[in-house]
């Protein structure tokens, strides 16, 4: 059974997918060796032989978790450890929080932005749709991607640069650049990161298949839908997390527990942001199914004429 085939069995409701991703994102699967991952794949391949044994059912569940958290759905290849879905929370959380912290200078803000944008690009690259994984990617693509990541980091650090460069003192202006602008800006940059990494899919299209798994053709519209859905889910994840410190500050300042102490306020609100980010990761991954659907009427004309299926499927990616 292919890894994408396993994704086809995912629940169709958001709640069901959320619970499933909570199981898949267990960080202990990152400790699995390549041999253990391939053994888990073999267990899933022989599912019919072991499903009736209660003792084996636990083994099957663990094997499913290992496969879905370690193998690429399109290729079946083992994803680099730090870019596997279970690694997203331990690696991305400190980087996101570091970008939200108040920085003394633009250099510090840029440093954390470039680390976060670089990790995001690596994760998006490793978990994208790989319909044409055998095609050689042009060398300039890597340079272009590095430039886009650097550009995103520069834009992310711009509010801090403006405040330092022009020595802004107005409380209202500092409130805008320091607190109100960063959440939507980070959300937009996270969506931009997904699009920049996966623009190759929109240019060349991705495979769409029927309910039996037969490839119907290559669709640019399905690729655009897959990339758009992933960009929206990532923007929601980062944008909501970035808004947490701003939303919590007036509530915490008025709390009797903190007694209005800003010394206590800062760590509390950023710890809360980290917890929210961790809780939202499975929600972000669950926002749209991994095995996405697209109506035949939304496909290109040549694909509509080549099948009678009302709905076709594609791998969305993460």
In the block, which residue shows the tokens 């978990």? 127
pTM of the shown model: 0.90
Dihedral (C-alpha) 270, 273, 274, 279: value to the nearest 10 degrees?
A: 160
Q: Please, what's the b/e burial string for 175-199 (b: 16 or more CB within 10 A of its CB; e: otherwise)? A: eebbbeebbebbbbbbbbbbbbbbb
In the block, which residue shows the tokens 């206590």? 264
Q: Look at residue 141 in the predicted model and tell me its pLDDT.
A: 75
Going from N- to C-terminal start, the domains of the chain cover: 3-25+86-315
> What percentage of the chain reaches a pLDDT higher than 70?
88
Dihedral (C-alpha) 55, 61, 66, 68: value to the nearest 10 degrees?
A: 160
What does 288-304 look like in DSSP terms, one character per residue? S-SEEEEEGGGS-HHHH
113-167 residue pLDDT tens = 999 999 999 999 999 998 875 555 566 677 888 899 999 999 999 999 998 888 8
Q: Look at residue 52 in the predicted model and tell me its pLDDT.
A: 46
**Rounded Cα–Cα distance for residues 65 and 30 (Å):** 11
SS3 202: helix
**Rounded Cα–Cα distance for residues 178 and 189 (Å):** 17
Model confidence at 198, pLDDT cuts 50, 70, 90, reads very high
């Amino acid at each position: 059974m292919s890894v994408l085939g396993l994704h086809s069995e995912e629940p169709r409701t958001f709640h069901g997918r959320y619970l499933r991703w909570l199981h898949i994102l267990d960080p202990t699967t990152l400790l699995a060796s390549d041999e253990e991952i391939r053994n888990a794949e073999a267990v899933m391949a022989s599912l019919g032989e072991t499903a009736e044994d209660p003792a084996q059912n636990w083994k099957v569940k663990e094997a499913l978790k290992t496969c879905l958290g370690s193998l690429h759905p399109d290729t079946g290849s083992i994803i680099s450890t730090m870019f596997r879905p279970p690694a997203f929370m331990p690696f991305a959380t400190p980087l996101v929080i570091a970008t939200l912290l108040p920085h003394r200078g633009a250099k510090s803000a840029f440093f954390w932005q470039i680390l976060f944008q670089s990790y995001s690009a690596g994760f998006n690259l490793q978990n994208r749709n790989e319909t044409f994984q055998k095609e050689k990617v042009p060398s300039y693509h890597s340079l272009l991607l590095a430039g886009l990541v650097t550009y995103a980091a520069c834009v992310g650090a711009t509010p801090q640069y403006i405040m330092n460069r022009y020595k802004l003192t107005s409380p209202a202006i500092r409130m805008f650049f320091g607190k109100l602008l960063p959440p939507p800006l980070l959300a937009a940059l996270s969506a931009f990161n997904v699009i920049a990494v996966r623009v190759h899919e929109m240019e060349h299209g991705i495979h769409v298949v029927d309910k039996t798994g037969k490839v119907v053709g290559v669709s640019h519209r399905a690729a655009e839908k897959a990339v758009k859905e992933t960009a929206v889910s990532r923007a929601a994840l980062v944008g909501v997390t970035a808004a947490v410190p701003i939303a919590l500050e007036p509530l915490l300042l008025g709390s009797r527990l903190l007694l209005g102490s800003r010394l206590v306020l800062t760590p509390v609100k950023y710890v809360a942001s980290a917890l929210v980010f961790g809780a939202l990761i499975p929600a972000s991954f669950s926002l749209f199914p991994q095995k996405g659907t697209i109506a035949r009427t939304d496909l290109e004309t040549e694909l509509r004429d080549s099948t009678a299926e009302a709905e076709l499927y594609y791998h969305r990616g993460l």
